Amino acid sequence: MSRRTKKIPRYFEDLKIGECWEAPSRTHTEALFYAFQLVSGDNRPLHYDMEYCKSLGLPGLLAHGYQVLAQCAPGASDMSRGETEVRILGMLETSAKFLKGVYSGDTLYPGLEIVELIEQNTTGVMVLRTTVHNQKDELCLDGELRMLVAKRARDEAA
């Protein structure tokens, strides 16, 4: 028997352009930098050696771009928390512009907004604008994420 609470599914037909979700803010501690280093295999001292960063005049460890981009994962957002859940089938594509450095100690605030909905036969594509701001409200990342979303079965169409 599953202990998970059954969520009300939201299908492609339920989504609206302009709908927004936030992911929880997260302060990027040195521990997160080291965890990302383990996962990514990136051993550049810029991302894990505080003394090296100080010698370059940086305020702290500099986050790898993918460490920042990972904050935009829809599963971490309120898109999948609460009583409903968007029926995401998979990620199709992502792109991002890294506009400002993220350093150890920075707190990041990720956001997702539906900017386009592309209908297909049995599925749809949800195009999201992804943004990450820091604690100074500076835009650090601006990108796009395309997700494949389930449509209702023809016999359950509203």
pTM score above 0.85: yes
Whether 145 contacts 96, CB under 8 Å = no
Q: What is the predicted pLDDT for the residue at 84?
A: 81
pLDDT at 158: 57
What does the DSSP assignment read for the chain? ---SPPPEEE-GGG--TT-EEEPPPEE--HHHHHHHHHHH----GGGT-HHHHHHTT-SSPBPPHHHHHGGG-GGGSTTSSTTEEE-EEEEEEEEEEE-S--BTT-EEEEEEEEEEEEE-SSEEEEEEEEEEE-TT--EEEEEEEEEEEEPPPGGG--
Q: What is the pLDDT of residue 31?
A: 94
pLDDT for res 156:
65
Distances in Å between the alpha carbon of 151 and those of 69, 82, 136?
Answer: 27, 21, 39
Pairing verdict, β 26-27 and 123-133: unpaired
Could you tell me the residue ranges of all domains in the chain?
A: 8-156
- Mean per-residue pLDDT pooled into runs of 10, the chain (158 residues): 73 96 91 93 92 96 95 73 84 96 97 97 96 98 96 74
8-156 fold: Thiol Ester Dehydrase; Chain A (3.10.129)
Confidence at residue 153, expressed as pLDDT on a 0 to 100 scale: 83
pLDDT at 24 (0 to 100) = 86
Confidence at residue 139, expressed as pLDDT on a 0 to 100 scale: 99
